[in-house]
Homo-oligomer: A and B are copies of this chain.
Amino acid sequence: MDVLKTNKRKIINDPVFGFINLPSEIIFDLIEHPYFQRLRRIKQLGLSHLVFPGANHTRFEHAIGALHLMILAIDVLRQKGIDISDEEAEAVSVAILLHDIGHGPFSHTLESTLVSGISHEDLSILLMEELNREFGGKLELAICIFKNRYHKKFLHQLVSSQLDMDRLDYLRRDSFFSGVVEGSTGSDRIIKMLNVVDDQLVVEKKGIYSIEQFLIARRLMYWQVYLHKTVLSADFLLVNVLKRAKELAMRGIELYGPPQLQWLLTHTVLPDDLKDCGQKSILIQNFVLLDDSDIISSIKVWCSHSEPVLSYLSNSVINRKLYKIKVLEEPVSTKKFRQYKAMASATYSVNEEDVNYYVFQGVIENSAYVTESENILILSNSGKIADIKDASDVDLKALSKTVKKYYLCYPKDLDTK
């Protein structure tokens, strides 16, 4: 395994957390599995490196970082007298290690094109179940916790909630590699402040300021990095490349690409297909072979495809000739939108339908990061539990409000016309 092996104890060198010890044999074996190794070839932040050149870190590193924080959290909770058996500790560790196993390359892009309608969580579960078969049922409890069907609910919350180890790792890691230092959070302090009351993960009162800071830092990371205008523009272009490719492939036009990508371009997978065992296994077979390199390598070849829309879009992504994106508080006026489409139509000699690949609009919504249903709970000194929104002096209501912005995208040279 990675780096030092001291008497069978595996240690990984992580630039964010230093040395990380792998706690058990099964964790080691899962990391060695091709499904997990694939995560080495999937960037954590997709095309964000086009704006933040250091952001080349992968889902592999993130999963191991989240595992590390889980081990710390288990240790803290046990010291506070929370009962976590060795079996549960291993299961919750496996669950966090595999939580992103179903991520495809440029995940959200893929979700809206290649495997439209199937979430990466669904795929994660499919792959975990596959692994469970291979590992002779040893992942049963981990899957149970992941699906939130285990009676100790706080274990699921460590894997997936407003304060899960996933978020604590990715915020610190994305901040580290993007160079947006002020997006960092005190994961150590937050973990020290965790506790469990009535089977719910809570944060002790004196951690309240760290939680506020965590929420605001997350907000900063969303707008500064994840939803950065140029990153969005690149993402939209990539969606368009793959949409166009799928459209052409469905029409029978030949496209360069590895078999697994070919399969996904020429098949429409519906959520219901996942239930059908035969179909599922073909989907999975192809899916686990796909990573960032296939998308990038193929798009590079498409740059010189004879179909002009595909080659135009492909070139724009690969050589970073990104579209202009205007982010607005109000929807784009129909008139303006039509003007730009007309210009594009003329400039690129495309018909009314294809012009939508050149000029398009939409909505950016960011409500994902504080949901109404499940909130961060603060434990007061007197033992009472309150929602962070009520416990904090700062009015954090806005953080759970859906922020809605509108965008208009089009090739930069249209502005100079």
Contacts and interface: CB of A to CB of B under 8 A. Distances in A.
Interface of A: 2-4, 6-7, 9, 11-16, 18-19, 32, 34, 37, 40-41, 43, 49-54, 56-58, 60-61, 64, 76, 79-81, 176-186, 188-189, 192, 204, 206, 209-210, 212-214, 216-217, 219-220, 223-224, 256, 258-259, 289, 291-294, 296-298, 300-301, 318-320, 392-399, 401, 403
Contacts of A40: 49-50, 53
18 contacts: A4-B192, A11-B192, A12-B53, A14-B179, A15-B177, A18-B188, A40-B53, A56-B56, A56-B61, A209-B220, A213-B217, A216-B394, A258-B297, A258-B300, A294-B297, A394-B394, A394-B399, A395-B395
B394 A32 contact: no
Contacts of A14: 53-54, 179
A220 B224 contact: no
Given A11-B192, A13-B178, A213-B220, 16 more contacts: A7-B80, A13-B53, A13-B54, A14-B54, A54-B61, A181-B184, A182-B214, A183-B213, A212-B219, A258-B300, A292-B293, A293-B300, A393-B401, A394-B394, A395-B396, A395-B397
A394 B397 CA distance: 7
Contacts of A81: 7
Contacts of A56: 43, 56-58, 61
A80 to B, nearest CB: 6
Contacts of A58: 53, 56
Contacts of A258: 256, 297-298, 300-301
A37 B300 contact: no
Contacts of A180: 13, 186, 189
Contacts of A19: 188-189, 192
Query: Which of A58, A64, A217, A297 has the most B CB atoms < 10 Å from its CB?
Result: A297
A213 B216 contact: yes
Contacts of A13: 52-54, 178-180
